Amino acid sequence: MSFSDTKSKTLLILGIIILSGEIFLSASQALEIRVKEQATVQGDTIYLSDIASFYPSKDPRVDRLSGIDVASAPSPGNVLRLNKRFLNYKIGSAITDKDDIRLKVTGALVVERASQTISADQFEEIFREYVMSHSPWPAKKTKFERITTPGAIDLPAGNLHWEVLEKGNHRYLGNVAFTVNFWVDGKQIRKVPISGKIGVIQEVVKAAKKISKGQLISEEDLIFASENHTGRIKNAVTSLDEVIGKKAVRSISAGQFITPRMIEDPPLVQKGKRVLIKAENKLIRVTTLGKVLEDGRAGDEVRVINLSSGKEIFATVKGPGLVLVSF
């Protein structure tokens, strides 16, 4: 055998020895788990992968060990302290002697739950935006007198969206309450109540002074004013022309706003007064005087005495002092 052949054979043997040594060392190398002193988790459960580092990181045992359930996570925004004794027990009980794993816990572990905060200002904005997008009242005339929220709340980190659920009062006036339903990553997380008091500025007709029952209302009896209301104001009269010349059906206090139920048209004919009776058809028209026996408004059928014949007849009120008889 030549010198070169001998040298080549020697190098080959050395290479095999070195490679075999590396394989042996690799196979016998221990896995080290180093538990951190501080960690932040996203979900409801603390897993070993959240709180520890693995050396070497590419060890095939890491995938199995990463999923060890260590403890329940704290609520969003809060922290949980796990002492060394607990960590050694919880993690160590999941490791067998044959695994050749070294666990290193230097001290207590503080775990924080990742979160996102909904502030009181954000709750107020949610309330306002929902009301303004659904309320029948003009935005410039809507007044938020009070908004009550739970203050700031912490929710889990993730893709956040919410929906507002109504709780009656679809007029969005006075006391209004909603429930805000929060979702994170497609999972319903929490329902939060919010409420408020809403007023509407509306121009209404009010009594300038006391108006007595049965009184005919004049312009001097009324004022036109802008009022902030939180009650039922949809029936308030908003035009002076709707009131002037009408008759009060009840006593109205000074400063009270007028509703249609407080007023009525005055009678066009009055009991005991003379009226003109008109009787007509397509061929003939006759007029005579009469005396009405009851008050009547336009379209009412009233009893009338024909002063010429002395007979009582029924006639329809057509205008001031005028009734019509058809024949």
User: What backbone phi and psi angles, to 5 degrees, belong to 185?
Assistant: 50, 40
C-alpha dihedral sign at 13, 16, 20, 21: positive
Residues 101, 155 within the same domain: no
| Interatomic CA distance for residues 77 and 190, integer angstroms | 15
> What is the pLDDT at residue 228?
72
Both structure tokens of 268 = 């066009």
Choose one of 95, 113, 131: the last residue of a domain: 113
CATH code where residue 215 lies: 3.90.1210.10
Q: Which domain holds residue 317?
A: 274-326
> What is the pLDDT at residue 257?
85
> What is the pLDDT at residue 98?
65
In sequence order, the 6+-apart residues with CB closer than 8 A to the CB of 80 are: 46, 71, 73, 74, 110, 111, 113
> What is the pLDDT at residue 11?
44
Other CB atoms within 10 Å distance of the CB of residue 126: 19
Burial of residue 87 (number of CB atoms within 10 Å: 0-12, 13-18, 19+)? buried
Count how many domains the chain has.
4
Burial of residue 38 (number of CB atoms within 10 Å: 0-12, 13-18, 19+)? exposed
pLDDT at 21 over 70: no
Average pLDDT (16-38) is: 64
User: Taking a C-beta distance cutoff of 8 angstroms, is the pair 227, 204 a contact?
Assistant: yes
pLDDT digits (tens, 9 = 90+) for 254-283: 988 898 899 988 889 999 999 999 998 888
Q: Which residue has the higher pLDDT, 17 or 297?
A: 297
Establish if 283 belongs to a structural domain. yes
Residues 250, 207 within the same domain: yes
DSSP state of 148: E
> What is the pLDDT at residue 26?
43
Scan for tokens 């039922």, then name that residue.
Answer: 232
Q: What would the 3-class secondary structure string for 270-310 be?
A: CCCCEEEEEEECCCCEEEEEEEECCCECCCCEEEEEECCCC
Choose one of 198, 233, 249: the last residue of a domain: 198
User: Taking a C-beta distance cutoff of 8 angstroms, is the pair 233, 284 a contact?
Assistant: no
Residues 106, 158 within the same domain: no
Establish if 13 belongs to a structural domain. no
The 3-state DSSP class for residue 15 equals helix
Establish if 7 belongs to a structural domain. no
Residues 254, 307 within the same domain: no
DSSP state of 216: B
Choose one of 178, 198, 218: the last residue of a domain: 198
pLDDT at 17 over 50: no
Establish if 192 belongs to a structural domain. yes
pLDDT at 171 over 90: no
Establish if 5 belongs to a structural domain. no
Separation in Å, CA 51 to CA 61, 87, 121, 195, 318: 17, 10, 35, 41, 93
Separation in Å, CA 316 to CA 113, 186, 277: 83, 70, 10
pLDDT digits (tens, 9 = 90+) for 86-123: 999 999 988 876 678 999 999 999 999 999 999 999 99
pLDDT at 2 over 60: no
Scan for tokens 């009787």, then name that residue.
Answer: 279
pLDDT digits (tens, 9 = 90+) for 197-248: 998 888 889 999 999 998 999 999 999 888 777 665 557 788 888 899 899 9
Establish if 4 belongs to a structural domain. no
Beta strands in 149-284 (DSSP E): 153-156, 160-166, 174-184, 187-207, 222-229, 247-248, 263-264, 274-280
Establish if 131 belongs to a structural domain. yes
CATH code where residue 94 lies: 2.60.480.10
Percent of the chain residues past pLDDT 70, beyond the cut: 89
CATH code where residue 278 lies: 2.30.30.760
